[in-house]
Amino acid sequence: MNTDKFKLSDPIQFLALGFGSGLVPKAPGTFGTLAAIPLLLLCSSMTTMHYALLVLVMAVVGIYICDYAAKAADVHDHPAIVWDEIVGLFITMFMIPLTWQSILVGFILFRVFDIFKPWPISWLDKHCHGGFGIMIDDVVAGFAALVCMHIIY
């Protein structure tokens, strides 16, 4: 995984790379998801409406952020681009009381859906391109994990 074209000094790439977490050599998506946890905890006191608006903004802006970083690296959906994982975990935890147990279960569920990509996630991953393509499979994986979370909790 060549990460030479990325620049953490570029604020947009810094976000796309999950504050640098996506640059780890092994399992960057997992480390990107881990990077979301402190942010998730910071947002724990937000109202449901504010949280939903934040996630919507993160997802929409993420299309631009991910597209920008992919073009900088000249690779579609480079593994180091993990903003989509951050958004995916935020979606997974929507309206779930935050405890270490719920965060662990949400983390595992989201990673399972993101890694194994059951249909329609796999279809979206193969057929959608650009920043939208980078984001959409993780958004859908987040919603799939969210449904499971609400069944569990």
Residue 73 has a pLDDT of 87
For 11-49, b/e burial (b = at least 16 CB within 10 A) is: ebbbbbbbbbbbbbeeebbbbbbbbbbeebeeeeeeeee
Residue 71 has a pLDDT of 95
**% of the chain exceeding 70 in pLDDT:** 99
Pair 133, 76: CB distance under 8 Å: yes
Query: Tens of pLDDT along 21-79?
Result: 999 999 999 999 999 999 999 999 999 999 999 999 999 999 999 999 999 988 888 99
Q: Which amino acid is at 67?
A: D
Residue 109 has a pLDDT of 98
Domain spans of the chain, in order of start: 28-152
The pair of structure tokens assigned to 119 is 């249909």
Residue 5 has a pLDDT of 86
Q: What is the C-alpha separation between 1 and 24, in angstroms, rounded? A: 10
Per the prediction, the chain carries an average pLDDT of: 96
Query: Tens of pLDDT along 100-132?
Result: 999 999 999 999 999 999 999 999 999 999 999
Which among 82, 98, 88, 92 is positioned nearest to 43, based on CA atoms? 98
